[in-house]
């Protein structure tokens, strides 16, 4: 019998953090180990999310100069993409190493990279952004913190603003992360907002995967 291969680095580190009672601590550990060459960040790719890029090509992006927030920005690929479209972008991550690395990779970037926690976002961000992008972060959180993270997202959308959600709908069979979102969880991310479109998309690159892409609009 062939023994299973090692678990992907995020899965291993997440399991260790959960066992230690620290459900978000694995993000920093992953980026630190990646910097040392002992782990791999699977989402460290040069291109922005294709689900974000496809959505942007529809012309749904707010006008240049409007404020955008990228949740869990990692190493900056989506934040830099939105800045390239003329948006004034704030991007945050709970990992200080990720934020420092993003700044180093993009030394001339107009993006404001900050360390922050989705479970306790700054009060100044409430109703502050014309576009909020939540891409593949909530799916990396188990309960009970997942519910807190979901509840924190919509309040950051400004009146008349847009929330874009991208998340796993199904995933290969392993213990997670990601833990795919249900339709009810996607709807909860847009609580208090008006749904514009909720898409369930197949993944041509991996038939085991499917994605949610949901757009919500705030009144005003």
Residues of the chain scoring pLDDT < 70: 1-8, 171-176
Structure-block tokens of residue 46: 């040069």
What does the DSSP assignment read for the chain? -PPPPPPPHHHHHHHHHHHTT-TTHHHHHHHHHHHTTSS--TT--SSPPHHHHHHHHTT-SPPTT-EEEEES-TTSHHHHHHHHTT-EEEEEES-HHHHHHHHHH-TT---EEEE--TTS--GGGTT-EEEEEEESSGGG--TTHHHHHHHHHGGGEEEEEEEEEEEEEE--SSS-S--PPPHHHHHHHTTTSEEEEEEEEE-TT-TT-EEEEEEEE---
Q: What's the confidence (pLDDT) of residue 108? A: 97
108 Cβ neighbours under 8 A, 6+ residues apart:
none
Cα 1 to the chain's mean position, in Å? Answer: 38
Q: What is the reported pLDDT for 173?
A: 63
pLDDT tens-place string over residues 121-175? 999 999 999 999 999 999 999 888 999 999 999 999 999 999 999 999 986 665 6
pTM: 0.91
Q: Looking at residue 175, what is its pLDDT?
A: 66
Was domain 48-217 assigned CATH 3.30.70.20? Answer: no
Per-residue pLDDT at 5: 40
To the nearest 10 degrees (0 to 180), the angle between helices 9-19 and 25-35 is 140
- pLDDT given for residue 3 in this prediction: 37
pLDDT at 124: 98
What is the distance between the alpha carbons of residues 62 and 48, in angstroms, rounded to a whole number? 17
């Amino acid at each position: 019998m062939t023994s299973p291969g090692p678990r992907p680095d995020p899965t291993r580190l997440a399991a260790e953090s959960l066992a230690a009672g620290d459900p978000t601590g694995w993000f920093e550990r992953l980026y630190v180990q990646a910097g040392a060459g002992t782990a791999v960040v699977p989402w460290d790719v040069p291109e922005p999310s294709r689900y974000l890029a496809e959505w942007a090509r529809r012309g749904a992006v707010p006008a240049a100069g409007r404020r955008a927030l990228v949740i869990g920005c990692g190493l900056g690929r989506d934040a830099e993409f939105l800045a390239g479209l003329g948006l004034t972008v704030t991007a945050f991550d709970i990992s200080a190493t990720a934020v420092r690395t993003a700044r180093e990779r993009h030394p001339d970037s107009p993006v404001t990279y900050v360390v922050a926690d989705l479970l306790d976002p700054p009060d100044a961000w409430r109703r502050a952004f014309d576009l909020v992008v939540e891409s593949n972060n909530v799916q990396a959180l188990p309960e009970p913190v997942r519910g807190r993270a979901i509840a924190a997202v919509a309040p950051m959308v400004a009146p008349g603003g847009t929330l874009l959600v991208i998340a796993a709908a199904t995933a290969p069979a392993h213990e997670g992360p990601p833990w795919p979102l249900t339709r009810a969880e996607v709807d909860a991310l847009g609580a208090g907002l008006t749904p514009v479109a909720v898409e369930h998309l197949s993944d041509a690159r991996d038939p085991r995967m499917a994605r949610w892409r949901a757009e919500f609009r705030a009144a005003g």
